Structure 1
Amino acid sequence: MTSKSDLWTIRPAQEEDTDVLSDIYLRVRRMTFLWVDPGKFQSEDFAGHTRGERVFVCEDRNGTIAGFMTLWEPDDFIHMLYILPAFQGLGAGKALLAALPEWPSRRYRLKCLVKNTRAIAFYRGLGFTIIGDGSSPEGDYKDMQLGTN
């Protein structure tokens, strides 16, 4: 599945994207999760953390990878959505989500760290609601679902 707009192309990740996606995952986590020791994040994390997931890549008009999203399909669970800082606020995250099958009518779920207030606001603005709470090694999180009241 490939989706294209005036600004973004969303496509399945390919083997040759792995190094770039691993770098984005490492860089954005270190820049966003300031409350976690940056040494806990490693380049190899991407391969292990995305095993078995469907990975979507977002490219700008020039073919530069702006970010990615991963989906654990059996549970309609959006595991990751990472956008490089230079592309944040420009619609890349929305384009990735809009490329999901049956978006926005399917009840996709995700977890968002409580301290990541910007991301929580982003997801709430797209219609996600908080349906629960949890805790992880990176901190407390909100369990969120699309389309619930």
Structure 2
Amino acid sequence: MEILADIYLTVRRETFVWVDPASFRHEDFKTHTHGEHLWLAEAPNGEIAGFMTLWPPDDFIHMLYVSKFWQGQGAGAALLAALPDWPHNKYRLKCLVKNSRAKAFYRSKGFVVTGSGTSAEGDFEEMSFYPDA
């Protein structure tokens, strides 16, 4: 799990540049994923490219993080495709408003904005994926 904590820490520091990087800690991964289901994205060379966590009681995608080198190469889409009954189940997530690249990714996968709020890292939009009727 050390590599996942490394990815989580590095991607948050690289992406959330408006947040004090010292507020992100390596041990956050263990705390923030407690009780969640976890999927890994493995690159062709065997390297862990990223991960996704799900809080099953609410079908809530809590985290989807891909190492900078592997972003834009299908790892995020593969992680979503690994979700139970994807794309025939409703899923929700929160995406920071300032994280335009992630918002564009989720929109391209069919997520729509269904709410908004504020967190320690800034304003967020709740996004939901509704299966085709």
Q: The TM-score by the shorter chain falls in which range?
A: over 0.9
Q: RMSD between aligned alpha carbons?
A: 1.1
Specify the alignment match of 1:138 in structure 2. Answer: 121
Q: Say which of 41, 45, 50 aligns to 1:58.
A: 41
Q: 3-state DSSP class of the match of 2:50?
A: strand
Matched, 1:117 2:89: no
Q: Whole-Å Cα distance in 2 between the matches of residues 105 and 115 of structure 1?
A: 29
Structure 1: give runs of 5+ residues left out of the alignment. Answer: 1-17
Distance across 1 between alignment mates of 2:130 and 2:101? 20
String of CA shifts for 1:13-72, please: whole Å, max 9, x gaps.
Answer: xxxxx1000000000000000000000000000000000000111101221000000000
* Secondary structure of residue in 2 paired with 1:24: helix
User: Helix, strand or coil for the counterpart of 1:89?
Assistant: coil
1:59 and 1:67 in contact (8 A); partners too = yes
Q: TM-score with structure 1 length normalisation?
A: 0.87
> Which consecutive unaligned segments of at least 5 residues does structure 2 have?
none
Q: May I ask how many residue pairs the two structures share in their alignment? A: 132
Find 1:96's aligned residue among 79, 89, 107. 79
Contact 1:56 1:70 in 2 (8 A): yes
TM-score calculated relative to the size of structure 2: 0.97
Identity %: 61
